[in-house]
Amino acid sequence: MEFKYGKVKLLVLMAAVAIFAAACGGSDFSPKPRGYFRIEFPKKEYQDYSQGCPFTFQYPKYTKIEADRSAGAKPCWQNIQYPQFNATLHLSYQPITSKKEFNELIEDAHKLSFKHTVKATSIDEGVIHYPDRKVYGIYYTIDGNAASSAQFFLTDSTKHYLRGALYFNSEPRLDSIQPVLNFIKKDVDVMIKSFKWR
C-alpha cells in the first residue's frame, strides 16, 4: 500500500511539472518599448503679426502671442505659445545703438545656443540671408536632449536685433518630441521667411 501511494505522489508531481512547463511555452518574453500618444496636428494656417513693434511676420493661427512678463522683459519681447504641444517660442527684440552693442548681441546669441552642448549631440548653424528685406542672421539647430532645440537671431546689422529660442515645458526627450519639433520648425521657417523690419 505504501508503494502505491508513493507512485501516485510521483505521478502527480510529474503531471504538475509537465503542466507548468507547458504553460510557460517556449517563446521569449521581452518588455514592450515605451509608447507615446498619437499626436493630432492642426492644419497649417498663418496670420500676420503687427502689434506696434518694428517688425512683422507670419505666425500660426493655432498659437497665442503674449507679451513676455518675466522680470527684466523689455518692450517687444513676445512669447509665441503652443498650448497643444506645451512649447514656447521666446522672441526678444533689442534696438542696436552701437557697433559694440551689436557685436555683444551676436556673441550672446552664440553663447546662449552653445551652452546646450552638455546635452546636445550636435549644433548646426545655418545662415539666414534676405538682402532685399535687410534680414540677416543665424539659425541654430540643436540635436539631442537639450532644453532648446532651435534658436536663431535676425538683424538688419544697423538698427534692429531679434533673437528667438524654442523651449518645451517638459523634460527634453528627443525621441518623444521629434514629430512636434519638426512641425514647429516649419512654423519657424515661415516666420523667418516672412519676416520684415518696419
Closest CA to 162 of 187, 113, 195, 140: 195
Per-residue model confidence (pLDDT) at position 6: 67
Cell numbers found for residue 192:
523667418
Answer whether residue 115 is part of any domain.
yes
Q: Which one is predicted more confidently, 29 or 94? A: 94
For the chain, the 3-state helix, strand and coil shares in percent, each to the nearest 5, are 30, 35, 35
Contact 139, 150 (CB under 8 A): yes
Q: Which residues contact 113 (CB under 8 A, 6 or more apart)?
A: 123, 140, 142, 148, 151
Question: Is residue 14 a part of any domain in this protein?
Answer: no
What is the chain's mean pLDDT, rounded?
87
What is the per-residue burial (b if ≥16 Cβ within 10 Å, else e) of 7-17?
Answer: eeeeeeeeeee
Question: For the sheet containing 46-49, what is the strand order?
Answer: 46-49, 55-60, 196-197
Q: Are 94 and 74 in contact (CB under 8 A)?
A: yes
Q: Give the single-character DSSP code of 88.
A: E
Q: Is residue 80 a part of any domain in this protein?
A: yes
Residue 75 inside a domain? The answer is yes
pLDDT in tens, 139-160: 999 888 877 889 999 999 999 9
Instruction: Give the chain's domain count.
Output: 1
pLDDT tens-digit map of 156-179: 999 999 999 999 988 767 777 888
Does 124 score more than 80 pLDDT? yes
Q: What is the CATH number of the domain that holds 104?
A: 3.40.1000
What pTM value is reported for the model?
0.77
pLDDT greater at residue 35 or residue 108: 108
Give the residue among 109, 82, 79 at the shortest CA–CA distance from 91.
Answer: 79
Does 9 map to a domain? no
For the cut 50, the answer to whether the pLDDT of residue 41 exceeds it is yes
Identity of the amino acid at 96:
I
Within-domain flag for 104 = yes
Contact of 149 with 166, CB cutoff 8 Å: yes
Instruction: Say if residue 106's pLDDT is above 50.
Output: yes
Of the ranges 3-12, 26-35, 142-151, the best mean pLDDT one: 142-151
Alpha helices in the chain (DSSP H): 2-24, 99-114, 174-194
What span, in angstroms and rounded, lies between the C-alpha atoms of 98 and 120? Answer: 33
Range of the structural domain that residue 97 is part of: 46-197
